Amino acid sequence: MNLRQWIIRFRKLDHFHINPDLFPQETKTVIPIADIKRFQALPLGTKAGAYLNIGLVDPYRLDARDALTLLARQTGKRVHFYEISEADYSTILKSIYQS
């Protein structure tokens, strides 16, 4: 494990519970569906207009964090990552993305 992985692993990440009825439609298409499935990631909305909140089933995957950070920067936003449960991810994938 490299230094970056150690730092990320020991930072406290907030857990985010997702209610399908309150899923933010404005950010639904920010992450392509292929990346949503590959990284088990969901766009959770924006914060103060400057941050894109992204939920990850495994928030310690560096490849996912790097790719999603780059994607968000292309939209002019910074990223804040949250941990989400696999159950919440699956529910949203089925109910919002019909996948």
The per-residue pLDDT for range 18-70, each reduced to its tens digit, is 888 888 888 889 999 999 999 999 999 888 878 999 999 998 899 999 999 99
Are 70 and 54 within 8 A, CB to CB?
no
Element (H, E) at 62: helix 62-74
Q: Kindly report, residue by residue over 70-85, the tens digit of the pLDDT.
A: 999 998 999 999 989 9
Residue 94 phi/psi, 5-degree rounding, is -75, -45
Query: Could you give the CA distance from residue 99 to residue 97 in angstroms, rounded to a whole number?
Result: 5
Considering only CA atoms, give the Rg of the chain: 13
Nearest to 77 by CA among 20, 9, 30: 30
Domain 3-95 class, CATH top level: alpha beta
Its pTM stands at 0.82
